[in-house]
Chain A
Amino acid sequence: EEQLVESGGDLVQPGGSLRLSCLASGFTFETYGVHWVRQAPGKGLEYVSGISSHGGSTYYADSVKDRFTVSRDNSKNTLFLQLRSLRTEDTAIYYCVKASRSGFDPWGQGTLVIVSS
């Protein structure tokens, strides 16, 4: 069974930093692009960032460009998202997703990031 498990979410002050991780299992991680999607409380889904199968291409939403950095370690089946200069509007559940020809599937359960003083 394909599975993604996020971790690293926490309460952090505005301006702070955080590193999210996503551990993949049940599929050949190194052959798929993987992405981060977030959902603020009571709001819709927002694409955040993504990375190609071997890390050669990265993608960012304008709202996080120059503040967030996506990376992956294929030897550890793990996706990362480094969050810097955090703002209150970054408060959200951050989901890790696998990209395929059929869209985003599966989704992890998410990890909650709260940015507050």
Chain B
Amino acid sequence: EVELVESGGDLVQPGRSLRLSCAASGFGLNDYAMHWVRQGPGKGLEWVSGINWNSDNIGYADSVKGRFTISRDNAKNSLYLQMNSLRPEDTALYYCVKGSGSESYSHYSMDVWGQGTTVTVSS
């Protein structure tokens, strides 16, 4: 069974850092692009970042560019999101999402979603 399990969410103060992880199982991570998508409390979905299969095609939403870094370790079947300079508006449920293709993070739909990990930024 294809599964994505996120971890690393926590309550942090503004300005601090946090690293999210996503463990993939049931498929080879190196065959697919991956994404992070977030959902603020009671709000809609917001794409955060995407990465292709070999990490040479990466993109970020304007709201996180320069603060967040996406990375992957295909040997460990894991995806990561390093979040620095966190702001209250980064408070959200963060989903790890599998792309349906590999060559780029765009041009493919998002076909498998994890259950999410919660990040709360507050003093």
A associates with B: no
Residues of A whose CB lies within 8 Å of any CB of B are none
Residues of B whose CB lies within 8 Å of any CB of A are none
